[in-house]
Chains A and B, each alone.
Chain A
Amino acid sequence: MYVVAIDPRTLFTIVLMALATYATRTGGLWLSSRFDLSEWAGAWLDQIPGAILVSLVAPTILMGGPVEVFAALAVVIVSLRTGSLPAAMVTGVGIVLALRALQANLL
Chain B
Amino acid sequence: MPLYVMLRRQDIVSEKNIGETEGQISFTLAGAFAGARRCVPIAISGCGIGLVFGTLAGQAGLGAGEAVLMSALVFSGAAQFVVLGLWAAPLPVATIVFATLVVGLRHVLMGAVLAPVFSKLPRLKAYGSVFFMADENWALTIGEFEGGRRDAAFLVGGGLLMFVAWTGSTFAGGALRGVVEDPSRWGLDFAFTAVFLALITGMWKGRSNILPWTVAAAVAVAAHQWLPGQWYILLGGLAGSFAGVVRRGH
Interface string of A4-29 (1 = CB under 8 A from B): 11110111111111101111111111
**Most B CB within 10 A of own CB, among A49, A75, A94:** A49
Across-interface contacts of A29 in B (CB, < 8 A): 111-112, 114-115, 118-119, 126-127, 130
B74 touches A21 (CB 8 A): yes
B20-28, B161-169, B186-194: which lies at the interface: B186-194
Interface size on B, residues (CB 8 A): 103
Question: In whole angstroms, how far apart are the Cα atoms of A49 and B199 in the complex?
Answer: 10
A20 touches B186 (CB 8 A): no
Interface string of B100-142 (1 = CB under 8 A from A): 1100111111111111101100000011001101010001101
Question: In whole angstroms, how far apart are the Cα atoms of A90 and B2 in the complex?
Answer: 31
B101 touches A55 (CB 8 A): no
**Interface size grouping (class) on chain A:** 35 or more
Majority DSSP secondary structure for residues of B touching A: helix
A26 touches B130 (CB 8 A): yes
Q: Which residues of B are interface residues toward A (Cβ below 8 A)? A: 2-5, 8, 38, 40-42, 45, 62-66, 69-70, 73-76, 79, 83, 90-91, 93, 96-97, 100-101, 104-116, 118-119, 126-127, 130-131, 133, 135, 139-140, 142, 174-175, 184, 186-203, 209, 212-213, 215-221, 224-225, 232-245, 248-249
Known: A17-B74, A32-B111, A55-B219. 19 other contacts (CB 8 A): A5-B65, A6-B69, A13-B91, A14-B69, A21-B76, A21-B101, A27-B107, A28-B107, A32-B116, A46-B3, A46-B4, A51-B216, A54-B217, A56-B233, A58-B220, A79-B198, A86-B41, A88-B195, A100-B184
